[in-house]
Amino acid sequence: MNLETLDSRLLFAIPKKGRLHEKCLQLLSGADIQFRKSHRLDVCLVMNLPIALIFLPAADIPSFVGNGNVDIGITGHDVVLEAGMQNKITEVQRLGFGKCALQIQVPEHGSIQSVEQLVGKRIVTSFEVLSGEYFGKLDDQLQLTGDQRTKIQYVGGSVEVACALGLADGIVDLVESGETMRAAGLRAISTVLETEAVLIKSNTLSRADHTPLIDLVASRIAGVVAAEKYVVCSYNISREALPLAIQITPGRRAPTISPLEQEGWVAVNAMVLKKDSARVMDELVKTGAQDILIFNLDNCRV
């Protein structure tokens, strides 16, 4: 590939591996961003839009975007804060996946069972900036100085074994299902931060102004994210019961109501949050609604 061809393109950073990678590929496919990635090369040209995808470790994406080397990217909100890039990038939208929490954990049956007891002791983490800020504030409140202050040690992975190895009194690590934490005999005593994957754009205008293309990509991605989150609920109901049913399915703006060829009956279509769909159907049945159908969305613009 001639790398000069990158100059005129919007550069879009995608996690090259790890927890966010697969979901990002699904998002790109849903947004019809077409590419063919060769095995070893981490840069590839999009075939149907003037975009180049740059595959990078998730943790490096905030600084590439923040420093304006890349225009937009997908990474974790946690990673943006850990890189200290929150003022150099804009979080355009939350993406609804990669949800987890950065939590303070201690041995389940140990002597330390609160954050206050952990202050001044040894912490191991991959998030030394966020952990340093968190415990730094507590150290300051207690006016701890020098060796009295909480000691934060960085490790690149497998943080959960640090307590068992005698390296730490507590750890700060991401928790999704909690399986890793429980398997390591740990329990969470506090949450530093809730996180999910975000679409970010650079606040540094060091490259060409790609605003219209960024808006197009953001709007397509928003459509895919909304399509994941919502279903369409369709049902028939008598006009008398309609006011009650509308309260159950108010839709995003308003439900679509069409007359039926049967006197006194209407058909209703409304977007409903996927996670609420079973409860909504239960409640609709109670109002006398019939022929209740739920449709998944492939894509949408909202």
Ligand X SMILES: O=P(O)(O)OC[C@H]1O[C@H](OP(=O)(O)OP(=O)(O)O)[C@H](O)[C@@H]1O
Ligand Y SMILES: Nc1ncnc2c1ncn2[C@@H]1O[C@H](COP(=O)(O)OP(=O)(O)OP(=O)(O)O)[C@@H](O)[C@H]1O
> Is residue 58 at the binding interface for ligand Y, with CB under 6 A as the rule?
yes
**From 153, 180, 234, 277, residue interacting with ligand X (rule: CB under 6 A):** 180
| Alpha carbon distances (Å) from 28 to 18, 34, 35, 144, 221 | 16, 8, 9, 49, 8
* Closer by beta carbon to ligand X, 175 or else 280: 175
The stretch near ligand X (CB under 6 A) out of 3-11, 109-117, 156-164, 257-265 is: 156-164
> Is residue 176 at the binding interface for ligand X, with CB under 6 A as the rule?
yes
Residue 185's nearest CA partner among 157, 165, 207, 211 is: 165
Shortest-Cβ-distance residue relative to ligand Y = 76
Cβ(206)–Cβ(11) below 8 Å: no
The stretch near ligand X (CB under 6 A) out of 23-31, 116-124, 178-186, 224-232 is: 178-186
Name the DSSP letter for residue 57: -
| Residue 240 half-sphere exposure toward CB, CA atoms < 13 A | 3
> By rule CB under 6 A, what string of x and - marks binding of each residue 232-271 to ligand Y?
----------------------------------------
Report in angstroms how near the CB of residue 296 gets to ligand Y at its nearest. 24
CA–CA–CA angle 294, 176, 295 (5° rounding) = 10
The stretch near ligand Y (CB under 6 A) out of 40-48, 56-64, 114-122, 231-239 is: 56-64
Name the DSSP letter for residue 19: T
**Where in 108-147 is the site for ligand Y (CB under 6 A)?**
none
Burial class (CB in 10 A: 0-12, 13-18, 19+), 73: buried
* Closer by beta carbon to ligand Y, 139 or else 196: 196
> By rule CB under 6 A, what string of x and - marks binding of each residue 2-21 to ligand X?
-----------------x--
In the chain, the N- to C-terminal Cα span, in Å, equals 37
Cβ(73)–Cβ(85) below 8 Å: no
* Closer by beta carbon to ligand X, 62 or else 223: 62
- Measure the CA–CA gap between 118 and 150, rounded to whole angstroms: 8
- Binders of ligand X: how many residues, by CB under 6 A? 14
- Measure the CA–CA gap between 126 and 253, rounded to whole angstroms: 43
> By rule CB under 6 A, what string of x and - marks binding of each residue 68-97 to ligand Y?
--------x-xx------------------
> By rule CB under 6 A, what string of x and - marks binding of each residue 6-45 to ligand Y?
---------x-xxxx-------------------------
φ, ψ of residue 134 to 5 degrees: the values are -60, -55
> Is residue 173 at the binding interface for ligand X, with CB under 6 A as the rule?
yes
- Measure the CA–CA gap between 160 and 157, rounded to whole angstroms: 8
- Binders of ligand Y: how many residues, by CB under 6 A? 16
**Residue written as token pair 């754009």:** 201
Report in angstroms how near the CB of residue 185 gets to ligand X at its nearest. 13
> Is residue 98 at the binding interface for ligand Y, with CB under 6 A as the rule?
yes
Positions touching ligand Y (CB under 6 A) are 15, 17-20, 57-59, 76, 78-79, 98, 100, 174, 176, 195
Positions touching ligand X (CB under 6 A) are 19, 157-160, 173-181
